Amino acid sequence: MDKENNVVLFPGLKTRLEQEGMKELQEKNYADAIQKFEQLLDYGYRQPEILTGRLICLMELGKHEEAEEMSLQLLEAKDKDYLQYLHIHLTLLFQLGRYEEVVEMLDEVYELENIPVPLRTSFDQLQKVSRKMAEDKYQTAADQLIHNFEKARNNQDVSAQWQLIQKCHMLDLSPHVQKMEAYLLDEESDPVVQTAVLEWFIKQEIEFPVSIHKMKETITVIPENLQLVDKSEGMERVLQHLQMLEQQNPSLFDLVYKLLYRYMYVKYPIIPDENESLTLAAALQKLAGSYLQIEQPPVSNEEAQQIASMMEEIITFEAKYLTVAEE
């Protein structure tokens, strides 16, 4: 804003512009007020009341990006008026509905700054309201997503169901637990979407038992004790048999890993035992090798039959996963 010249205002003119700017600000004539403040800034006058006056005008005129840029620059200066600028910046974030940022910023400030009691009380109240608004905002978002999820179920749009549940993963599950538990037990539910729902339970660290009906089995698990699919016990068990492949042929291993993940995702939380893991690893390697036209070592007739059967299942689950989930 500052003009790079040596021109200064007469003291009387500076005082008049400042008084007129404050008067226009008080009367909510923000467009006129900002002109006065910017004139003063152009001539290098950067008193706190001039800076805050322009900042408030920007906010009231709806120039939010410019207001945020200015307030951040003032905060970076860390001068004696830092707390005053902080208060305005937090007010701006609150007005913009960025409640989580208000909460996080105050948490950081409390760790680093010694806030005077009257201002601390004001900040505490602002943080309390912001936290509540953030929770309400998240809950409203979750309610809308679950409403859309139910519409997608009625329309048998499993891809939309999966996408909507993915968006729910960072939102509070508790108001929708019963509805999601019923979905996990519904024989008509899609297994890929069921896994997305289960991963929501896992991310929310649900401590009570949850039952899932999948692949004609009903399994009860405690989500808090489970890992997400990519870190699950079943994945780790199969990957142990593929360590050599990862070193010898990384390209083939990458394809094998994708096939394994999709297979496990469709079946989760059903995981292979040790014998099944060995057969699954061999089938994955043979299938991926056929895609890349890489010859695999011969096996016995019995093993070949087991591997062929497993390959069919992998192909089926691969197709199922790709018709529902996005990568």
d(CA 284, CA 256): 6
- SS3 state at 273: coil
The burial class, CB within 10 Å (0-12 / 13-18 / 19+), for 5 is exposed
Query: For position 9, what pLDDT does the model report?
Result: 59
Query: For position 232, what pLDDT does the model report?
Result: 96
235 HSE (CA, 13 A, CB side)? 20
Phi and psi dihedrals of 140, rounded to 5? Answer: -60, -40
Instruction: Summarize the chain as % helix, strand, coil (round to 5).
Output: 75, 5, 25
d(CA 172, CA 1): 45
| Per-residue pLDDT tens listing for the chain (327 residues) | 444 445 555 667 888 888 998 999 999 999 999 999 998 888 888 888 999 999 999 999 999 999 999 999 999 988 888 999 999 999 999 999 899 999 999 999 998 888 888 899 999 999 999 998 888 777 788 888 999 999 999 999 999 999 999 999 988 888 899 999 999 999 999 999 999 999 999 999 999 999 999 999 999 999 999 999 999 999 999 999 999 998 899 999 999 999 999 999 999 999 999 999 999 999 999 999 988 888 777 777 778 899 999 999 999 999 999 999 976
d(CA 311, CA 149): 33
Sequence-ordered list of residues with C-beta below 8 angstroms from that of 140, at least 6 positions apart, any chain = none
Q: Which candidate, 266, 274, 263, 287, places its Cα nearest to that of 238?
A: 274
- Would you tell me how many other CB atoms lie within 10 Å of the CB of residue 185? 14
Query: For position 11, what pLDDT does the model report?
Result: 67
> Which amino acid, 204?
Q
Task: Retrieve residue 110's tokens.
Answer: 């409390």
Query: For position 2, what pLDDT does the model report?
Result: 45
> Which amino acid, 131?
R
Query: For position 34, what pLDDT does the model report?
Result: 93
Query: For position 278, what pLDDT does the model report?
Result: 94
d(CA 14, CA 268): 72
Q: What is the pTM of this model?
A: 0.64
Residues 72, 45 contacting (CB under 8 angstroms): no
Query: Distance between alpha carbon 144 and the CA centroid of its chain, in Å?
Result: 17
Q: Which candidate, 186, 181, 184, places its Cα nearest to that of 194?
A: 184
256 HSE (CA, 13 A, CB side)? 25
